[in-house]
Amino acid sequence: MINPMDLTGKRILVTGATGGMGKETSILLSKLGAKVVMCDIREEALQKVFSQLSGDGHAYYVFNLNDIDDIEALVKKMVEECGPFDGYAHCAGIAPMRPLKMTKKEDIIKVMNANLFSFIEIVRCITRKDCFTDEGSIVAISSTASIQGKQSKVAYSASKAALDGVIRCLICDLKKKKIRVNSIMPCWVNTGMYTSYIERYPDTFEVREMQEKQYMGVTQPIEVANTIAFLLSDAAKTITGTSILIDGGMSQG
Amino acid sequence: MTEREKLALLEDMLELDEGDLTVDKALDDIDEYDSMAKLSLIVLMEDEFGVKLTGDVIKGFETVGDIVALMNK
């Protein structure tokens, strides 16, 4: 029997590792043989996910990705303590809803920091000499909001559209090292973020749209994790600079 | 913050004229109080008063005064 998504021995960084998708991704990667290095702001939750990882050689770091200026030192520390990386999954992010008239510059910067700037800074630092193996793979969680307009999502959509634009530039910058960079674009995923939406914004256009248009049902976190694992694995060896929709038909149906 | 100032915040949010709202006005009688306004209300209450509104709390609002009562400042 073969496993095309085998990640044995590969060291992979996962940010936002305690969120719905980050947690599922970390656990799956460990089951596929990877050494998972998790990063998140919530220490207790990190310990909990850490205890659910299969195999050994894993590590976790408590860090607030909004501290962009400290990312360089964090990456240096991780590489010194764990060794160079073969992959990076950016699962960190926030998805606030804020009507246009209440969206100010500082609100946009907050979202950009969490969803975009931290990603670019990590990629900048982690792809330096001796920190990332050649032909490694980077995957970022984008969103259908990158290509589809949504009410009250100006900052969020901007951050995800920028993210997808950035990955296409990163592959050019990282061409010599043959590092692959891709993103995935989920819509509604069954995470804590999703349930709090339903709770906080009932009867809004967005929730109604989800219930009607994502006709294949809400995406489960494991389905997102599977796609990330695929893109990190050698099964996707020549897939780069692309964004894969995982939206249950939402944007095309 | 006075009651009038709180009403003014809501009038601004709903794009109504100054003085349009009173505490005893029923929310059902305000055309502008739609799903988008409810989302704006969630953001306003969190930004200005640190109050996190849930869907159930919003559903329980009947009058403008019910909202003003949660504006603790």
B60 CB within 8 Å of a chain A CB:
no
- Domain of A118 in residue numbering reads as 11-193+219-245
Grouping H, G, I as helix, E, B as strand and the rest as coil, residue B17 is coil
- Domain of B25 in residue numbering reads as 3-68
User: Is residue A76 situated within a structural domain?
Assistant: yes
Nearest to A102 among B40, B58, B59 (CB): B40
Neighbours of A21 (CB within 10 A): 29
DSSP state, residue A23 = H
User: Is residue A3 situated within a structural domain?
Assistant: no
pLDDT digits (tens, 9 = 90+) for A59-110: 999 999 999 999 999 999 999 999 999 999 999 999 888 999 999 999 999 9
User: Is residue B73 situated within a structural domain?
Assistant: no
CATH number for the domain harbouring residue B47: 1.10.1200.10
**What distance in Å separates the CA atoms of residue A249 and residue A253, rounded to the nearest whole number?**
5
Cβ B28 vs Cβ B9: under 8 Å: no
CATH number for the domain harbouring residue A27: 3.40.50.720
Tokens standing for A246? 């995982």
Phi, psi of A232 (to 5 degrees): -80, -20
**Global ipTM:** 0.79
**Per the confidence metrics, is the pTM higher than 0.80?**
yes
pLDDT digits (tens, 9 = 90+) for A144-203: 999 988 888 999 999 999 999 999 999 999 999 999 999 999 988 888 777 777 777 666
**What distance in Å separates the CA atoms of residue A78 and residue A219, rounded to the nearest whole number?**
32
Q: What percent of chain A has pLDDT over 90?
A: 81
Q: Report the run of H or E that residue A26 belongs to, with start and end.
A: helix A20-31
| Across A23-37, A93-107, A157-171, A211-225, least confident range | A211-225
User: Is residue B54 situated within a structural domain?
Assistant: yes
User: Is residue A19 situated within a structural domain?
Assistant: yes
> Closest Cα of chain B to A109: distance in Å?
16
Number of domains chain B contains: 1
Q: Report the run of H or E that residue A107 belongs to, with start and end.
A: helix A105-112
User: Is residue A129 situated within a structural domain?
Assistant: yes
Cβ A234 vs Cβ A32: under 8 Å: no
A196 CB within 8 Å of a chain B CB:
no
**What distance in Å separates the CA atoms of residue A61 and residue A188, rounded to the nearest whole number?**
28
A99 CB within 8 Å of a chain B CB:
yes
